């Protein structure tokens, strides 16, 4: 299923692009076919599973663009520019499950700010821009901040290898939960792993391994066994720290109330203090832009099942009367993405995307 030509949608696209231009955005477009390797590493599991991937004898593995953000970041970094603003509108492509009536190709419009001079202000500006665009639809706005959870994990009293594993799986909630239970001693070590660790402690983990099969070398297998032993020898996470992480993950309230709860958590988990300060400063910046932050929802886990490149402020707009619809607009901060693609000198960035067809459908 694809989105067909629609004069109402095209008029809405023009309205959105005018708003982006009024906010200082330069209109850009990206090729429909993109190199697959980099993109597949950066998108979340859901997008990776739904990407259209093909192979070209000369160009290698390619994919139909599932969104614009990563290509826009690559373009910006290649340009050598510092601060910049971009707006775009075009089709993206994602496979759907059998029987799913959602389109596999649809129009997406987006706005991105690359500017490290006032990150909190840029967060508030992007959110306000989309809020104003969508105001007539009376949508529910949800917000969150992946940076709070990242800071919490980095502040845990445990070995760096465990922290790295938890951070890697923040965007995979079930895997994150399983690791947290294991590191906290709340789930047993599988018998086969326990037996392997015991052999490794005796120095014969690789004994009788025979011929190596698969893609991993003997050195890689040995390194993995060493990691398992280090993990087994590490002290369990304290129950207090696990409970505090659970408090962050489960937090869901109006933004001012959520902020007070985060302040309470920061007393026992001081590593999140700076991230909580940013949450407070962002709420103040949103209020200065005329937004009613008292009614704004904040969710500690918001954004954890979407794009893995979001690492700070995240938001989405939803039609509560239409739970069958995907979010009308989403966005967030992705400083880690610009660092991954451009090195330590990359410019912090925040942006959002909206589906014009949903705006038209809900406005009828």
- Residue 124 sits in a domain whose CATH number is 3.30.930.10
Is residue 156 within 8 A of residue 162, CB to CB? The reply is yes
For residue 129, tell me if it sits in a domain. Answer: yes
Whether residue 331 lies inside any domain: the answer is: no
User: Are both 70 and 175 inside the same structural domain?
Assistant: no
In this structure, how many other beta carbons lie within 10 angstroms of the beta carbon of residue 248?
21
Q: Is the pLDDT of residue 306 over 80?
A: no
Q: What is the pLDDT at residue 210?
A: 47
**Domain shared by 120 and 191, yes or no:** no
Overall average pLDDT of the 139-148 stretch: 97
Euclidean distance between the first and the last CA atom of the chain, given in angstroms as a whole number: 22
What's the pLDDT band for 209 if we cut at 50, 70, 90?
very low
Average of pLDDT values for 76-81? 88
109 and 182, same domain (yes or no):
no
Q: Is the pLDDT of residue 111 over 90?
A: yes
User: If pLDDT is split at 50, 70 and 90, which confidence band does 208 have?
Assistant: very low
Residues 166 and 128 both lie in one domain: no
Residues 132 and 17 in one domain: yes
- The percentage of residues in the chain with a pLDDT greater than 70, rounded to a whole number, is 84
Is 196 a member of any domain? yes
What tens digit of pLDDT does each residue of 32-69 get? 988 877 766 666 556 667 778 888 787 788 888 888 99
pLDDT, mean of residues 294-316: 91
**Strand order through the sheet with 53-56:** 33-35, 60-64, 53-56
Both 79 and 168 in one domain: the answer is no
Distance CA(204)–CA(166), nearest Å, equals: 29
Whole-angstrom CA distances from 15 to 10, 12, 89, 108, 360 are 9, 5, 11, 13, 11
Question: Locate tokens 């700076």: which residue?
Answer: 274
Stretch among 69-73, 128-132, 226-230, 238-242 having the lowest mean pLDDT: 226-230
Domain presence at residue 251: no
Looking at the structure, do residues 94 and 7 belong to the same domain, yes or no?
A: yes
- Reported for 17-23, long-range contacts at CB under 8 A and 24+ positions apart, including other chains, are 17/87, 17/89, 17/109, 19/129, 19/132, 19/133, 20/87, 20/109, 20/111, 20/129, 21/87, 23/85, 23/87, 23/111, 23/125, 23/129
Long-range CB contacts for residues 242-247, cutoff 8 Å, separation at least 24: 242/180, 242/184, 242/186, 244/152, 244/268, 244/269, 245/149, 245/152, 245/153, 245/156, 245/180, 247/300
Of 91-100, 201-210, 238-247, 279-288, give the lowest mean pLDDT range.
201-210
Whether 361 shows a pLDDT value over 50: the answer reads yes
Contact 285, 123 (CB under 8 A): yes
Secondary structure (DSSP) of 48-63 = HHT--EEEETTTEEEE
Same domain, 71 and 183: no
Q: What is the mean pLDDT of the chain?
A: 87
Compute the distance between CA of residue 216 and CA of residue 205 in angstroms, rounded to an integer: 16
Query: Are 183 and 229 in a shared domain?
Result: yes
**End position of a domain, from candidates 237, 265, 295:** 237
171 and 102 in a common domain: no
Q: At which of 237, 262, 295 does a domain end?
A: 237
Q: pLDDT higher for 262 or 213?
A: 262
| 38 and 73 share one domain | yes
- The secondary structure element, H or E, covering residue 357 is helix 356-363
Confidence (pLDDT) at 215:
61
Q: Residue 26 belongs to what domain range?
A: 1-136+349-364
Positive or negative: CA dihedral 115, 118, 123, 128: negative
Looking at per-residue pLDDT, the higher value among 191 and 142 belongs to 142
Residues 208 and 194 sit within 8 Å (Cβ to Cβ): no
Domain count, the chain: 2
pLDDT at 211: 54
Residue 83 included in any domain: yes
Q: Give the pLDDT confidence of 151-177 residue by residue, as tens digits.
A: 999 999 999 999 999 999 998 899 999
**Does a structural domain hold residue 142?**
no
**E strands along the chain, which residues?**
26-27, 33-35, 53-56, 60-64, 84-93, 105-114, 140-145, 252-254, 297-299, 313-318, 329-333, 349-354
The per-residue DSSP string of 193-241 comes to HHHHHHHHHTT-TTTT--S--SS--HHHHHHHHHHHHHHHHSPPPPHHH
Is 92 within a domain?
Answer: yes
Question: Cβ neighbours of residue 22 under 8 Å, at least 6 residues apart?
Answer: none
Could you give the angle at the alpha carbon of 126 between the alpha carbons of 122 and 129, nearest 5°? 135
Highest averaged pLDDT of the listed ranges 144-153, 219-228, 337-346: 144-153
Q: What is the pTM of this model?
A: 0.88
Residues 80 and 16 in one domain: yes
Pick from 237, 266, 281: which residue ends a domain?
237
Domain presence at residue 124: yes
49 vs 144, which has greater pLDDT? 144
């Amino acid at each position: 299923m694809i989105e067909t030509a629609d004069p109402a949608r095209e008029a809405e696209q023009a309205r959105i692009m005018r708003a982006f231009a009024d906010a200082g955005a330069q209109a850009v477009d990206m090729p429909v076919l993109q190199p697959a390797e980099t993109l597949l590493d950066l998108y979340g599991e859901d997008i990776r599973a739904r990407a259209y991937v093909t192979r070209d004898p000369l160009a290698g593995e390619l994919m139909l663009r599932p969104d614009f953000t990563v290509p826009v970041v690559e373009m910006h970094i290649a340009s050598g520019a510092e601060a910049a603003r971009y707006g775009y509108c075009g089709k993206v492509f994602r496979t759907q499950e059998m029987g799913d009536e959602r389109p596999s190709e649809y129009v997406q419009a987006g706005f991105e700010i690359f500017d490290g001079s006032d990150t909190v202000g840029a967060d508030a500006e992007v959110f306000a821009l989309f809020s104003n665009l969508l105001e007539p639809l009376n949508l529910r706005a949800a917000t969150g901040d992946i940076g709070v959870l990242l800071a919490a994990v980095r502040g845990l009293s445990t070995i760096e290898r465990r922290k790295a594993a938890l951070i890697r799986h923040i965007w995979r909630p079930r895997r994150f939960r399983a690791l947290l239970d294991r590191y906290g001693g709340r789930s047993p070590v599988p018998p086969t792993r326990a037996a392997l660790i015991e052999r490794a402690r005796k120095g014969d983990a690789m004994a009788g391994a025979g011929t190596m099969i698969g893609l991993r070398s003997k050195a890689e297998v040995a390194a993995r066994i060493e990691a398992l032993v280090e993990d087994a020898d590490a002290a369990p996470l304290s129950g207090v720290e696990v409970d505090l992480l659970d408090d962050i993950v489960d937090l869901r309230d109006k933004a001012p109330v959520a902020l007070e709860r985060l302040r309470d958590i920061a007393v026992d988990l001081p590593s999140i203090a700076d991230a909580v300060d940013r949450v407070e400063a962002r709420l103040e910046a949103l209020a200065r832009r005329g937004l009613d932050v008292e009614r704004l929802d904040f969710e500690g886990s918001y954004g954890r099942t979407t794009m893995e490149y979001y690492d700070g402020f995240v938001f989405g707009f939803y039609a509560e009367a239409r739970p069958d619809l995907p979010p009308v607009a989403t966005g967030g901060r992705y400083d880690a993405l610009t660092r991954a693609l451009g090195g330590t000198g990359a410019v912090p960035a925040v942006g959002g995307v909206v589906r014009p067809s949903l705006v038209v459908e809900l406005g009828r």
